[in-house]
């Protein structure tokens, strides 16, 4: 067993960390408060090739190993979690196209997506269908060599920036069970009838938009059916969500790391009763708890990522990592606020932003209650073992 990153991974993490320290951390709080579009940061992400993390090299991508993939989200979320969101949905969609798309779809879309010339997200959730994706109401009716798509999607990251948006639809509304009639269409956002509605207000997760997308008789060529075969949409989406959960776990680690870093620095310089509060046992216990749980979350995330690199199915492992790491992020941000006292509640310090960003990690890519059922079902089925 080797718990060390490779030399290449360490160099990659060092470059990421330098970028975050110089380009993201100094502006994150101010830009979040003002609602400023982080266009300069996005351009830097493009230059680093990070829009092509999950795209094969033959299509101009980086084709990162999953541990390096996790490092990207950990480091960027340490600086500003919302920026990690810009990359998250984009690279999830690229992964789905790379693994399930036809050769024509991959050749046509992936080079532009990998460079960042094209942007994307993913259209899954609806006002009445979140966790229960089989309950979606968006339909795609075949009309000659096109589908006519009608429905509404919500909480769509990158909606305003997307050039093409993979959208989960029902191509057969009578299928039993419903997932057999579900497909993914690669919809051109410039298509007539495709419109982006209101931006949804959020507690945290600023820096990237989350919007409603309305589809009114949007005409989509049959050639834009992901993989070219109807009825495979749910399987395609769920396979992508496995790596999406590694992404969320890694973001959670980044949030917890930021909370720990800020707390340790503050405890060393803040004095009470004539000495730094780091010398008080109550503060020491909090720091020890955050650090220990943070490292456990990090190792669990890398474990799930390394198994994905080995080609294993990782629904249980990614679910464990996402569930545990997100709970650690929530706890770490709260304990960091307690260490900071009143300053932790102030917008002048990073802690209040971490406290607002952390809860989404327990919701995104499947709620933590769903993660627990995924883990339990894998254990009961005997398809996964914990030793």
Task: Give the CATH superfamily of 235-381.
Answer: Butyryl-CoA Dehydrogenase, subunit A, domain 3 (1.20.140.10)
Res. 285: pLDDT tops 80: yes
**Domain boundaries along the sequence of the chain:** 7-115, 133-230, 235-381
What's residue 313's pLDDT?
86
What's residue 149's pLDDT?
98
What's residue 131's pLDDT?
84
What's residue 385's pLDDT?
60
In the set 74, 209, 293, 365, the catalytic residue is: 365
CA distance 214 to 93: 19
- The angle at the Cα of 294, spanning 288 to 299, to the nearest 5 degrees, equals 130
C-alpha of 43 from chain center: 19
What's residue 384's pLDDT?
60
- The angle at the Cα of 278, spanning 273 to 280, to the nearest 5 degrees, equals 60
CB burial class (10 A; 0-12, 13-18, 19+) of residue 8? exposed
Q: What average pLDDT score do residues 237-244 get?
A: 93
Q: Which of 41-50, 85-94, 151-160, 377-386 has the lowest mean pLDDT?
A: 377-386
pLDDT tens per residue, range 286-301: 999 999 999 999 999 9
CA distance 1 to 133: 38
Q: Mean pLDDT for the chain?
A: 96
User: How far is CA 225 from each of CA 14, 54, 81, 184, 246, rounded to the nearest angstrom?
Assistant: 40, 20, 32, 6, 27
Whether the Cβ atoms of residue 138 and residue 149 lie closer than 8 Å to each other = yes
Note if 40 is an active site residue. Answer: no
7-115 placed in CATH 3.50.50.60: no
Q: Which CATH architecture has domain 133-230?
A: Beta Barrel (2.40)
What's residue 382's pLDDT?
85
Q: What average pLDDT score do residues 181-186 get?
A: 98
């Amino acid at each position: 067993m080797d718990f060390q990153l490779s030399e290449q991974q360490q160099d990659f993490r060092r470059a990421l960390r330098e970028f975050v320290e110089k380009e993201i951390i100094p502006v994150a709080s101010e830009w979040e408060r003002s609602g400023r579009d982080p266009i300069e940061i996005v351009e830097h992400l493009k230059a680093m090739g990070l829009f092509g993390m999950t795209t094969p090299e033959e299509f101009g991508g980086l084709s990162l190993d999953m541990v390096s993939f996790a490092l990207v989200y950990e480091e960027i979320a340490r600086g500003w979690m919302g920026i990690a969101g810009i990359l998250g949905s984009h690279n999830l969609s690229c992964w789905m196209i790379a693994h399930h798309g036809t050769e024509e779809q991959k050749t046509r879309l992936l080079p532009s997506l990998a460079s960042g010339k094209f942007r994307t997200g993913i259209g899954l959730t609806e006002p009445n269908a979140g966790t229960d994706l089989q309950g979606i109401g968006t339909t795609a009716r075949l009309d000659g060599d096109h589908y006519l798509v009608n429905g509404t999607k919500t909480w769509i990251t990158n909606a305003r920036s997307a050039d093409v948006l993979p959208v989960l639809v029902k191509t057969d509304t009578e299928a039993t069970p419903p997932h057999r009639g579900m497909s993914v269409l690669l919809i051109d956002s410039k298509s007539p009838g495709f419109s982006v509605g209101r931006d949804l207000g959020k507690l945290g997760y600023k820096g990237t938009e989350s919007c409603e997308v309305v589809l009114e008789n949007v005409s989509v060529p049959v050639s834009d059916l992901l993989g070219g075969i109807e009825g495979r949409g749910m399987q395609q989406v769920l396979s992508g969500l496995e790596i999406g959960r590694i992404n969320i776990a890694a973001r959670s680690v980044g949030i917890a790391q930021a909370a720990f870093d800020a707390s340790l620095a503050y405890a060393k310089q803040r004095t009470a009763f004539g000495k730094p509060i780091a010398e008080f046992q109550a503060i020491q216990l909090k720091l020890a708890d955050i650090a220990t749980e943070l490292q456990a979350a990090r190792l669990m995330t890398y474990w799930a990522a390394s198994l994905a690199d080995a080609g294993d199915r990782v629904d249980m492992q990614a679910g464990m990592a996402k569930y545990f790491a997100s709970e650690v992020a929530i706890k770490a941000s709260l304990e960091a606020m307690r260490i900071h006292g009143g300053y932790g509640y102030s917008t002048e310090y990073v802690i209040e932003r971490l406290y607002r960003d952390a809860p989404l990690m327990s919701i995104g890519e499947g709620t933590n209650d769903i993660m627990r059922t995924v883990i339990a079902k894998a254990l009961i089925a005997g398809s996964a073992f914990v030793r």
